[in-house]
Amino acid sequence: MAVLAERLKLLRKEKNLSQKDLGEAFGIPRTSIANWESRGSDPELKTVIKIADFFNVSLDYLLGRSNIRNYKFTESLALTVANLTSNDPELERFFSIINERVELKLLVKQMKDMDSCTIMKWSKIISTVEEECSECLRTNSNVEFPEQRVHSSN
């Protein structure tokens, strides 16, 4: 269970816990934690469940079956987004479009861990590309982009 070992170590370090600290939290020796993290052995299922509960992650995440740490958090986030956008039709439309388009979901997922400076740089790149595309359309009115074809066929 290589993923379990990697994620256990990651989660422990995110909480600034030593192997000894984590062992004490579970009432087990530090060497057990070290063995699990180095793939020398695997914890029992009941211990894996306790680990998931301790770090507030799903078993699927801990075992590498999903990259979603906590489904309850994801559902809660969806409700929060719905509440935030209910009074703003433009935001509601934006999140609706993201939900419908796989490539936009991927883009947002990739951006979630970026700092503000990096996001602003990407925003400038996108604006530059949009300007170039607009200029291209003005000079070559017969050029058609995929989104234009979708809208023109309706």
Q: Which residue has the higher pLDDT, 152 or 123?
A: 123
Per-residue pLDDT band at 127 (split at 50, 70, 90): confident
CATH number at residue 50: 1.10.260.40
> Is there a single domain that holds both residue 54 and residue 10?
yes
- C-alpha 11/C-alpha 37 separation (Å) is 11
C-alpha gyration radius of the chain: 23
Same domain, 97 and 131: no
Q: Are residues 77 and 40 in the same domain?
A: no
Residues 93 and 122 in one domain: no
Q: What is the pLDDT of residue 153?
A: 44
Is the same domain home to 75 and 96? Answer: yes
- Answer for the pair 122, 111: CB distance below 8 angstroms, yes or no: yes
Higher pLDDT, 116 or 27: 27
User: Does residue 13 sit in the same domain as residue 52?
Assistant: yes
Q: Are residues 81 and 35 in the same domain?
A: no
- Cα 65 to Cα 9, 37, 59, 71, 132: the distances in Å are 17, 18, 8, 13, 42
Tell me the residue range of the domain where 89 lies: 70-113
Same domain (yes/no): 35, 46: yes
Question: Are residue 55 and residue 31 in the same domain, yes or no?
Answer: yes
**Cα 81-107-88 angle, rounded to 5 deg:** 30
Contact by Cβ (8 Å): 61, 20: no
Are residues 127 and 93 part of one domain? no
Domains in the chain, number: 3
121 and 151, same domain (yes or no): yes
pLDDT the model gives residue 10: 93
From 62, 83, 103, the end of a domain falls on 62
